[in-house]
């Protein structure tokens, strides 16, 4: 697959109607390749927590306890949805209070996540980056052993690629202005 084709055709897979699986080696290779993302000073400010298929229900219960404290119906639905995934990647990165370093780390982690999405797409694995509000909920970070100088930048849901994903025309085509 050509890079331009992957960039144009990759879509977030948001249909979790069926139980899915993916080979471990595909995920391992995707994360390794994604790490070639550009990053300032080669700091590689990311790490990935892999929630494999056999631990998804347990993770979903912990996640739901923090996300939907007083809503049993939403908790149950979230556990059911997450349990159908092939896996889930929690992308964790540095949280540097120095503005320049923080911005550099955010950009690097964004590049890592984009690379990851493209490599997964090329391998036939559907993915969707999620940034739920619970990422900063008190106690949730403790469950995942997130250090005080780290933060969760997002989840990457792993699933099947939908057969009917349509390429959406971009609205923002006039990106360049001259100075």
Cβ neighbours of 111 (radius 10 Å) = 16
Mean pLDDT across the chain: 89
Q: Is 163's pLDDT higher than 70?
A: no
Q: 15-160 is classed in which CATH architecture?
A: 3-Layer(aba) Sandwich (3.40)
CA angle 103, 122, 21 (to 5 degrees): 100
Contact (CB, 8 A) for 81 and 19: no
pLDDT at 165: 66
pLDDT at 138: 74
CA distance 99 to 11: 32
Give 134-147 pLDDT, tens digit per residue. Answer: 898 878 999 999 99
Q: Is 164's pLDDT higher than 90?
A: no
Q: Please give the full DSSP string across 136-147, using - where no structure is assigned.
A: G-TTHHHHTT--
The ranges assigned to domains in the chain are 15-160
Closest CA to 37 of 90, 154, 115, 92: 115
Q: How far is CA 132 from the centre of its chain?
A: 11
């Amino acid at each position: 697959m050509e890079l331009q084709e992957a960039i144009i055709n990759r879509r977030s897979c948001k249909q979790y109607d069926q139980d899915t699986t993916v080979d471990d080696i595909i995920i391992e290779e995707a994360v390794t390749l994604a790490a070639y993302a550009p990053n300032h000073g080669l700091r590689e400010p990311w790490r990935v927590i892999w929630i494999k298929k056999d631990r998804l229900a347990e993770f979903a219960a912990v996640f739901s306890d923090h996300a939907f404290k007083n809503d049993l119906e939403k908790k149950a639905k979230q556990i059911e949805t997450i349990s159908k995934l092939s896996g889930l990647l929690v992308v964790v990165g540095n949280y540097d209070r120095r503005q320049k370093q923080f911005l550099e780390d955010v950009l690097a982690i964004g590049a890592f996540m984009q690379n990851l999405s493209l490599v997964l797409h090329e391998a036939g694995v559907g993915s969707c980056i999620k940034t739920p509000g619970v990422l900063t909920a008190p106690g949730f970070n403790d469950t995942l052993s997130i250090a005080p100088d780290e933060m969760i930048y997002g989840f990457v849901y792993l699933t099947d690629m939908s057969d009917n994903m349509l390429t959406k025309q971009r609205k923002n085509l006039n990106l360049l202005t001259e100075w």
